[in-house]
Amino acid sequence: MMQFGAKLHRSIITTVALLVPATVSAMPVEVSLRPSARPPVAPVALAVASSAKEADFQRWIRGFQPRARAAGISDRTFNRAFRSVTFDPDVIKRDRNQSEFTKSIWDYLDSAASDKRVKNGRAALRDHRRVLDQIEQRYGVDKEVVTAVWGLESAYGEYRGNHNIIRALATLAYDGRRGRFFEQQLIAALKILQTGDTTPANLRGSWAGAMGHTQFIPTSYQAFAVDFTGDGRRDIWSDNPADALASTAAYLKKHGWVSGQPWGVEVQLPRGFNYALASRKITKSPSDWARLGVRDMQGRKVRDYGSASILLPAGHRGAAFMIFKNFKVISRYNLSTSYVIGVGHLSDRLKGSGPIAADWPRNDRTLKFAERKEMQSLLTRKGFSTGGVDGRVGPMTQRAIRAYQSSRGIVPDGFASLRLLQTLRK
């Protein structure tokens, strides 16, 4: 999930919203696209070498117990949850191995809305039509959007993750990199066990603590999961996806989903369009955009769904979208622009729409972390300040790119691509 700024949690209800930890959002999108199953167990030699680590981890668990107790976790719950829990080196390996490479939007969408995912999504809609209709009715969120989240988070329940959540979160909390965040998640996971929503054996999910069909992290689960089946349990782990799908709809509704509004609409921009207007910060009504010559792909005015921005996820050489408030609501699931477009576009495909019409600049690519830093240094050196060299393309860097592009007679779309970096190096 997604997406990619480091937004840390400020309060449970408003920001926890991310169903994946903030920096998981900063990870390559495929992590949230398809939480993978557990790899083979580490070789015995490695396990032996790490016995000192294991002893230290067990000491950490004992030191953590009073803090859990203070947070309301009974010793009975704690001891049941931690029975035979050991340090999980695989989790740490994955935490360290997060790729610095960001997938391009077109590669992401090739997978997010692959023929297989569209086909399986249509089958999932058919198989679960009754419950999805009921969920749509109760929460006002399109069933295709809920199904698309399901499709991206776990391939419609196929890859829910098989890590023991207590073990994974305890390992990450003990490890210390973002230890506070994971300890908060661990306490929330223990509370799930304490309330009896599921059993320690069923409390499974991704290595980073995302659980069930639509990959809720424990604090999001606590705040937003619902019991749709009415059996008294909010069971997002069960093979029956009803509670998980309803929880996703409840989550989106809670974050302001506007019924009947699309996430976005692919549009065509007129010749001579002022690309400075293609910014998330600039919103206009579809009628105002139409007056500026913005049309849908059939050449019609876009209907007045609400205020909208123009988004060019791959610069002016790729597709353009008019995006609405629901775009932002989906981003509460995962901040990645690719993720949000992935969910939105997949939902459109599930409704029967065709592929995105515009081409992508497939001969170009997005920049790696070191390249983004190099780009920022070069821009700054040329007098276009990026407000620091941190490898993240935020508003200041985009403004610097646009100013540089304008100065060179390049379309000022603010897109950080390899092509741009090559121009800067000259």
Catalytic residues: 153
CB 410 to Ca ion: min, Å = 55
Residues pairing with 315 in the sheet? 313
Q: Closest CB to Ca ion among 127 and 231?
A: 231
Q: Closest CB to Ca ion among 173 and 246?
A: 246
Please tell me whether residue 15 binds Ca ion under the rule CB under 5 A.
no
Among 58, 229, 268, 307, binds Ca ion (CB under 5 A): 229
Query: How is residue 360 written in tokens?
Result: 């992508």
CB-CB contact of 366 with 100 (8 Å): no
Which CA distances in Å does 425 have to 317, 365, 372? Answer: 21, 16, 13
CB 228 to Ca ion: min, Å = 6
Q: At what angle do helices 165-175 and 179-195 cross, to 10 degrees?
A: 150
Among 133, 231, 304, 359, binds Ca ion (CB under 5 A): 231
Cα dihedral 112/115/116/117 (nearest 10): 30
Among 183, 235, 364, 413, binds Ca ion (CB under 5 A): 235
Query: How is residue 346 written in tokens?
Result: 């997949």
Q: Closest CB to Ca ion among 110 and 227?
A: 227
**88: part of which helix (H) or strand (E)?**
none
Choices 109-117, 223-231, 308-316, 330-338; region in contact with Ca ion by CB under 5 A: 223-231
Residues pairing with 322 in the sheet? 265, 310
Return the SS3 of 164: strand
Q: Closest CB to Ca ion among 20 and 226?
A: 226
Instruction: Tell me, by CB under 5 A, how many residues bind Ca ion.
Output: 6
CB 248 to Ca ion: min, Å = 14
Q: Closest CB to Ca ion among 134 and 307?
A: 134
Q: Pattern of binders to Ca ion over 172-211, x per CB under 5 A? A: ----------------------------------------
CB-CB contact of 343 with 383 (8 Å): no
Choices 234-242, 326-334, 341-349, 365-373; region in contact with Ca ion by CB under 5 A: 234-242
Length reported for the chain: 426
Per the listing, tokens 């629901």 go with 326
Choices 53-61, 239-247, 269-277, 396-404; region in contact with Ca ion by CB under 5 A: 239-247
Choices 98-106, 137-145, 231-239, 267-275; region in contact with Ca ion by CB under 5 A: 231-239
Q: Closest CB to Ca ion among 9 and 233?
A: 233
- For Ca ion, the nearest residue by Cβ is 229
Return the SS3 of 310: strand
Q: Is 48 exposed, middle or buried (0-12, 13-18, 19+ CB in 10 A)?
A: exposed
Q: Closest CB to Ca ion among 117 and 234?
A: 234
The Cα–Cα gap between 27 and 102 comes to 8
Please tell me whether residue 243 binds Ca ion under the rule CB under 5 A.
yes
CB 213 to Ca ion: min, Å = 13
Among 7, 138, 233, 419, binds Ca ion (CB under 5 A): 233
**Taken in order 182, 46, 30, 85, is the CA torsion positive or negative?**
negative
Q: Closest CB to Ca ion among 32 and 222?
A: 222
CB 316 to Ca ion: min, Å = 48
Choices 21-29, 138-146, 229-237, 246-254; region in contact with Ca ion by CB under 5 A: 229-237
What phi and psi values does residue 205 have, to the nearest 5 degrees? 180, -155
CB 222 to Ca ion: min, Å = 15
Closest C-alpha to 214, from 250, 263, 255: 250
Q: At what angle do helices 369-381 and 395-407 cross, to 10 degrees?
A: 60
Please tell me whether residue 373 binds Ca ion under the rule CB under 5 A.
no
A 10 A CB-CB count for 414 gives: 24
Closest C-alpha to 367, from 322, 425, 290: 425
Query: How is residue 254 written in tokens?
Result: 């809670």
Please tell me whether residue 134 binds Ca ion under the rule CB under 5 A.
no
Q: Residue 54: what residue type?
A: E
CB 35 to Ca ion: min, Å = 22
Return the SS3 of 169: helix
Query: How is residue 308 written in tokens?
Result: 């909208």
Please tell me whether residue 227 binds Ca ion under the rule CB under 5 A.
yes
CB 202 to Ca ion: min, Å = 13
Q: Given the rule CB under 5 A, which residues bind Ca ion? A: 227, 229, 231, 233, 235, 243
